Amino acid sequence: MGAKLSGSGGGRYAVEANSEINVTPFVDVMLVLLIIFMVAAPMAAVTVKVALPDAVAKPSTNPPKPVYISIQDSGRIFIGDYPSEIATLGDDLRKNIGNKRNPEKERIFIRADKNVLYGDFMGVMNQLQDNGFYSVALIGEDKN
């Protein structure tokens, strides 16, 4: 049961040399792998399976405007584009939000320069908590 791979002759087990590459099986395998990855990739993103209920709430046509507090490296504080002081921060924030919204549920976004002193930052955080603003988010620059 041996095969003659080289040499002359046209015997029963002679194999002719083929110098062409058949890429059809390669393309077929690549397409199958592409389909497998396209189907499997979304499932691999979440490892904990949860049966989510249907969302019945309609999106708000007028969502609340986010409130940003900016702290410059000099220590100056701004609510949105308007300057404020550490002593009047709570009152200025209530004026900016308005009376209809609840300060305990209001989310405040703090943007601080990277050279701001820690004491200045904590002074703003303490004033927010003293005035009933407990939901605070810190904003940083995304470095991708």
Residue 113: which residues within 8 A CB-CB, separation 6 or more? 71, 72, 73
- At 78-120, the pLDDT tens digits run 998 889 999 999 888 888 887 656 666 778 899 888 888 888 8
**133: CATH:** 3.30.420.270
Q: In this predicted structure, what is the pLDDT of residue 14?
A: 67
Give ∠ CA 97-101-103 in degrees, rounded to 5.
75
Asked if residue 104 belongs to a domain, the reply is: yes
Q: In this predicted structure, what is the pLDDT of residue 33?
A: 93
Q: In this predicted structure, what is the pLDDT of residue 22?
A: 84
Asked if residue 127 belongs to a domain, the reply is: yes
Asked if residue 13 belongs to a domain, the reply is: no
Asked if residue 31 belongs to a domain, the reply is: no
Asked if residue 120 belongs to a domain, the reply is: yes
Q: Tell whether the model's pLDDT for residue 37 goes beyond 70.
A: yes
Asked if residue 108 belongs to a domain, the reply is: yes
Asked if residue 77 belongs to a domain, the reply is: yes
Domain that holds residue 129: 67-139
Q: In this predicted structure, what is the pLDDT of residue 99?
A: 65
List the one residue out of 49, 37, 69 whose CA is nearest residue 135: 69
Asked if residue 109 belongs to a domain, the reply is: yes
- At 115-136, the pLDDT tens digits run 888 888 999 999 999 988 888 8
Q: In this predicted structure, what is the pLDDT of residue 46?
A: 58
Q: How many domains does the chain have?
A: 1
